[in-house]
Structure 1
C-alpha cells in the first residue's frame, strides 16, 4: 500500500506547516548570527562582526518578509517568536563551543602555592605571582591570561593543587606581549617527587 503524501503540495499544508517551519529556522539562524555579532563586537573583532552581520540581516529580511505577507497568521507569529527565543540559546552554545577570546584568571591561595605555580608554568602558561595579605593571613595572588579553551585546564589544576583557592575569571578585550600559550601548546611535563597534589 503506497503512502499518500499528496497533501504536502496543498496550499493549506504549506501555510500551516512548511512556512512556519521555514520562519522558525530562519529566525534561529539570524538570531544566532546576531548573538555572535554582539559577542564579536564586545571582543573587538572589527572584521568578523560586520561579516556575520551581513548574513544576519539577509536571513532576517527573508523571515520578516514571510511574516508580513500574512501578518494575521498566529502560527507564523508563534514560529517567529519561537525562533527568536531558540536562536539566543543556540547562539550562546555556538559561541561557547568556538571558545573565542582571552580571559584573565585571578587565583588567591591561602596555602603554599609553589606546586600550583610550577605546574602552571610547566604547562606553558605565563604566571605572575604576588605575595599579599588576606583576612586570615598571608596569601598568594596568581594572575594569568589564557585562551578560553584553556580555562578548564587551569581550573582543574587549581582544584588539584589548591582545592580551597579562590579564583575569578574575567574577559580580556585585548592583550599584547607577555606569555600566552599558543593554539597548540606543548604537552604538560610530568611532575615528580614533591610536585604532587597539594593541601
Structure 2
C-alpha cells in the first residue's frame, strides 16, 4: 500500500471521523447551553461547530467514491452525540430545584444544608398520610450529588424530586456573603460613575 492509498483509505477517514466527533459534540453542547438560557455562549460554540463541519463535509464531497468517508462521517456523528452529552454531564451546567417531602423531623438536614452554604426554605404541608415537611433548595447542578448524599444521610426514607430551573430570579443566589458584598459594592461603584 503506497502513501497515497494509506492516506485515502485510513488517515483521511480517521480525520473525518475525529473532526465530526468534535463538530457534533460542539453542536450538542450548543443546544444544551441554549436550552439552559445561555445566549452568549451558544453562538460562539455554533461558529466553531460550523467551521469544523464545513471542513469535514468538504472532504467527503471531494471523494464521493470512497465508502470509508461516508462511514467515518456517520460514525463521527453518532459518537459526537454521545461525547457531547458526556462533556455536558461533566461540566454540570445549570441550576436545579430540589423538593424534599418528609414525615420526620428535618432540622438536622436543614442545618446541614445551611452549614454547607445552601439556601433552604421549609414549608409545613399536608400529605395523604398526614402532616409533612417540605424542604426546597435551589442548587447548582454540580452540587447535586453532594446534596443528595446529605438527604440520604439525614432523611433516608424521604421522597424528593429534582428538576431543572431555567433562570433563577436572584443573580447572587449562589454567592457566599463575602462574594455577594464584593459584587454589590462593584455595582454601586458602576452606578455612581454613570450618575456623574
| TM-score range normalised by the length of the shorter chain | 0.7 to 0.9
| CA distance, structure 1, for counterparts of residue 58 and residue 84 of structure 2 | 22
The alignment status of 1:99 with 2:87, answered yes or no, reads no
Which consecutive unaligned segments of at least 5 residues does structure 1 have? Answer: 1-6, 186-199
Distance 2:171 2:117 in 1: 12
The equivalent residue for 1:36 is 29
Structure 2 equivalent of residue 50 of structure 1: 43
* 1:164 maps onto 2:157 in alignment: yes
Which of 149, 166, 172 matches 2:142? Answer: 149
Q: State the shift of 1:134 in Å.
A: 1.4
Question: Once the 2 structures are TM-superposed, how far is the Cα of residue 89 of structure 1 from its aligned partner?
Answer: 0.9
Higher helix fraction: Structure 1 or Structure 2? 2
**Residue equivalent to 1:18:** 11
What is the CA distance between 1:24 and its match in structure 2? Answer: 0.2
User: Corresponding residue for 1:195?
Assistant: none
Equivalent in the alignment of 2:68: 75
Count of residues in Structure 1 that have an aligned counterpart in Structure 2? 177
Structure 2 distance, partners of 1:65, 1:97, is 32
User: Following the alignment from structure 2 to structure 1, what is the Cα–Cα distance between the partners of residues 67 and 90?
Assistant: 34
TM-score by length of 2: 0.85
Query: Which segments of 5 or more consecutive residues in structure 2 lack a partner in the other structure?
Result: 179-196
Q: Which moved more, 1:86-95 or 1:67-76?
A: 67-76
After superposition, give the CA deviation of every residue in 1:128-186 in whole Å (9 maximum; x if it has no partner). Answer: 11111112221111111111111111100000000011111111111122873338x9x
Tell me the equivalent position of 1:140.
133
Is the 1:126–1:178 contact (alpha carbons within 8 Å) kept by the matching residues of 2?
no
* Residue 123 of structure 2 is aligned to residue 130 of structure 1: yes
Aligned to 1:114: 107
Residue 190 of structure 1 aligns with which residue? none
Q: How far apart, in 2, do the equivalents of 1:59 and 1:162 lie?
A: 49
RMSD over aligned Cα, in angstroms? 1.7
- State the Cα deviation string for residues 79-106 of structure 1 (Å, max 9, x = none): 1111011101111111111111211111
